[in-house]
Amino acid sequence: MSCQSSLQALSFRFQADADLNPAISRGLRGREPSLDFRVAAGVIPNGAANPDVLRVALREDGHMIASDSDKPRRKSIARLGQYMRRRAAVTLALAAASVLGNFGMRGENRYTPSIVFRFQPVMVNGRKAFHVIEHFRIRQPETGIVIPKHYGGAAHLEGQTQNLKVNSPGATLTDQPTDSGEKLLQARPNQCIELSYDIVPQQTEWFRHPQEHMAIINDDYFLFNTEDALVYPEIQRTADVDVTFDWRALPRNSPIITSFGMSRSGEKNRVMRVRAPWIRVVDALLAGGNFRIAESNENGTAVVLAIRGIWRFSDADALGEVRRILDEENRFWRAAPLPYFLVTLAPFDERSGDNDGSGFTNAFMLFLSHEDTMDAERLRLMAHEMFHHWNPMSMGPRGADEVAQWFAEGFTVYYAGVIPLRSELTTYSEYLDYLNRWLRRYELSPLRSLKEAAWKSLSHSSGEGYMLSYERGAAIALWADAAIRVRSSGKASLDNVMFDLVHQSETEHPAPDFTEARVLAAFSPYLSSEQMEQLRSMAVEGADVPLPEKLGGCAVRQSEMQAVVDPGFDEKASFAAKHVTGIVEDGPAYRAGVRDGQELFRWSIYNDDPSKDAVLGVVIDGQRKILTFSPTKQAQVEQYRATVAAEVARSCTPF
């Protein structure tokens, strides 16, 4: 029970009689503005009989107030007083139990933190925003307050959080001495805290990646998650928490769709409550507004697709593909049907080539370009985000996002290619193209040999530091799958490791934490001691990943020269500063006329497609110019090529 809900539990609703002195009503409201006090007008007619007044009050779960001069009503008031005393006794008993749970030694283990988020639409500096009022109770004199800083490729999110303040008497907010992006809340232990702040969106006029990882709030809709938008106290990620999302201030004619359920357009219930491990709340997706809702209730899972935009495919087609991916992954994991799963789909402003997704608790979101179709690439994107429901979300509580990310992200990359191929949703040729693209990224990464400890010190919001765990992990997954199959003579595979980790989480109580040590240990039944040491060396020490010579009987590895994207300047630093830096003399950008220090006002580089030109908008001699050039160079890479005819390849599997 939150501190706010505790106060609500101790409050009463009051119904005034028609002859109550108006001065009493004004005085009560002036003394206690939060009092739930209803006047008689329109409810209690003049001259109503005493029993009728009492029945109205009780029917509405309220309490009658009569004027002092009304002596005949004492009997009715006495009956009402008995009812109030009984209710108060129960309420006070519950409150006492809550206090004992907060402070008593035996109650310590039963204590469940709670937090309430209340959202109100507002305008801040001419931008549509949300004003958030938040209630929670603190346990210590000092509590860290987390403010969004970066998420999923979007950096510098601190500007979203504006007008942050603490409204509780005696409580203060100061900057954290060790982290300028966080605040330190100081207050009395067990004090009920109210925070308020505004979430002000920071997107530019041209909506493209990675702006989907910022809080989206506009006239049409909102879409964000707890981690990229909300301010909250530091809570142990594995702890169960009671959380309330209060949307009652938002228009009732638009749906609210979240990781924990949906409130349809026009529904009165706009308050969502959930008890879950805090990590599930931090990973929650929250959306609402002008979405079209498509639903499927097959195979025991209610799938909700919240979709916006005009596409080359129908809403029904999109829902059908989501349903296929979810069902195939459920079959892979041999899992019980999920009661509920949400997918949001919205457009980027780019016509083509820009797409992204993120997995959340019981949900994933997709952003595609207007001309995209439901092709193999989009199916793999959905398979990737769906796979996160199990890896790592169903493998035990995580202490931090960076824990074994080579496994959580890289192995998910690998299976996003494997599962659609096994399910015949994609072809073998499409699978090889996908696998080769990720292996090429790994081989050409300038951070390929970086140790995990050094990687953790890098920014994970964009660039090579963001992609390394995906690239390295995908290569390790391929190596591990091949090694397990060879050592077991085909009786086991990487699948067994994945199943074991989920099974441990489902059968052990409490579920073991998702840690790197536990992930590595899960391989030990299937690899030799030498292979286990090799695995650790690749994952932790940055050792090169040796790729298997062949993929079953359908493809072999070969070395070849390929055109790869390398524009010849520091993309990450240049785009962040909006000025060119790190130019390589005689590189592609230099030959096109790009120089260090030039202002950047536009850029488009397809890092995965060497066939496409790079486009840079730069300021040269005070004039804006658009420079178009090929951002490629030749490099030697290891790739897999099919050794069987296309007809035979239809029956090929990854191994």
* pLDDT tens profile 337-368: 889 999 999 999 877 777 889 999 999 999 99
Which whole number is the average pLDDT over 122-134? 96
Lowest-confidence segment of 119-133, 167-181, 313-327 by average pLDDT:
167-181
- Tell me which range, 77-86, 528-537, 571-580, is most confidently predicted by mean pLDDT: 528-537
The residue that leads in pLDDT, 521 or 86, is: 521
At residue 110, the pLDDT reads: 62
- 3-class secondary-structure state, position 560: strand
Residue 80 pLDDT > 90, yes or no?
Answer: no
Q: Cα–chain-centroid distance for residue 588? A: 38
Q: For the chain, where do the domains classified as CATH 1.10.390 start and end? A: 405-552
Using one digit for the tens of pLDDT, what is the confidence trace for 500-553? 999 999 999 888 999 999 999 999 999 999 999 999 999 999 999 999 999 999
Burial state string for 278-311 with b = 16 or more CB within 10 A and e = fewer than 16: bbbbbbbbbbbbebeebebeeeebbbbbbbbeeb
Cα gap 350→208, rounded to integer Å: 7
Q: Where in the chain is the domain with CATH 2.60.40.3650?
A: 112-290
- pLDDT, one tens digit per residue, over 408-439 is 999 999 999 999 999 999 999 999 999 999 99
Residue 91: pLDDT over 70: no
**Left, alpha or beta for 559 (phi > 0: left; psi -120 to 50: alpha)?**
beta
Q: Strand, helix or coil at 228?
A: helix
Residues 6+ apart with CB under 8 A from 490: none
Range with the poorest average pLDDT among 13-27, 215-229, 280-294: 13-27
Residue 87 or residue 10, greater confidence: 87
Q: What is the pLDDT of residue 529?
A: 97
How confident is the model over 309-328, as a mean pLDDT?
Answer: 94
Q: Is 122 exposed, middle or buried (0-12, 13-18, 19+ CB in 10 A)?
A: middle
Q: What is the DSSP string of 617-638?
A: EEEETTEEEEEEE--EEEEEEE
Whether pLDDT at 266 is above 50: yes
Query: Per the CATH hierarchy, to which homologous superfamily does domain 567-630 belong?
Result: PDZ domain (2.30.42.10)
Give the pLDDT of residue 108: 43
Place of tokens 């949307």: 247
Cis peptide, bond prior to residue 233, ω within 30 of zero: no
Where exactly does CATH 3.30.2010 map onto the chain?
292-376
Under DSSP, is residue 315 helix (H, G, I), strand (E, B) or coil?
Answer: helix
Give the number of other CB atoms < 10 A from CB of residue 100: 15
What is the dihedral angle through the alpha carbons of 634, 637, 639, 643, rounded to the nearest 10 degrees?
70
**Which pLDDT score is estimated for 606?**
81
Number of neighbours of residue 595 by Cβ within 10 angstroms: 12
Q: What is the pLDDT of residue 18?
A: 67
SS3 333: helix
Burial category of 588 from C-beta neighbours within 10 Å (exposed 0-12, middle 13-18, buried 19 and up): buried
Q: CA-based diameter of the chain, in Å?
A: 100
Taking residues 34-60, what's their average pLDDT?
59
- Rounded mean pLDDT, 466-471: 90
3-class secondary structure per residue, 126-158: CEEEEEEEEEEECCCCEEEEECCCCECCECCHH
What residue ranges of the chain are covered by domains with CATH 2.30.42.10?
567-630
Residue owning tokens 């203060």: 172
User: Residue 101 — pLDDT band, cuts 50, 70, 90?
Assistant: very low
State percent of the chain over pLDDT 90: 64
Q: 318 or 5: whose pLDDT is higher?
A: 318
Q: pLDDT by residue (tens digit) across 209-244?
A: 888 999 999 999 999 999 999 999 999 888 899 999
Contact 492, 452 (CB under 8 A): no
Q: What is the dihedral of CA 435, 492, 406, 510, to 10 degrees?
A: 140
Residue 74 has pLDDT above 90, yes or no: no
Q: What is the structure's pLDDT at 238? A: 82
Q: What is the pLDDT of residue 585?
A: 92
Asked if residue 112 has pLDDT above 60, the reply is yes
Q: Per-residue pLDDT tens for 597-647?
A: 999 999 888 877 888 899 999 999 999 999 999 999 889 999 999 999 988
The residue type at 177: P
pLDDT-based confidence at residue 490 (cuts at 50, 70, 90): very high
User: 577 Cβ partners below 8 Å, 6+ apart?
Assistant: none
Residue 119 — φ and ψ, nearest 5°?
A: -110, 135
**pLDDT of 26:** 57
Instruction: Write down the mean pLDDT value for the chain.
Output: 85
Rounded distance between C-alpha atoms, residue 532 and residue 525, angstroms = 10
According to the model, what pLDDT value does residue 441 have?
A: 92
Measured in degrees and rounded to the nearest 5, phi and psi for residue 125 equal 50, 40
Rounded-to-integer distance, Cα 536 and Cα 567, Å? 34
Q: How confident is the model at residue 66 (pLDDT cuts 50, 70, 90)?
A: very low
* Least-confidence region, from 108-117, 308-317, 360-369, 377-386: 108-117
CATH topology of domain 405-552: Neutral Protease; domain 2 (1.10.390)
616: which 2 tokens? Answer: 């840079």
- CATH code for the part of the protein at 112-290: 2.60.40.3650
Q: Residue 411: its pLDDT value, please?
A: 98
What is the reported pLDDT for 650?
Answer: 85
Classify domain 292-376 by CATH number. Answer: 3.30.2010
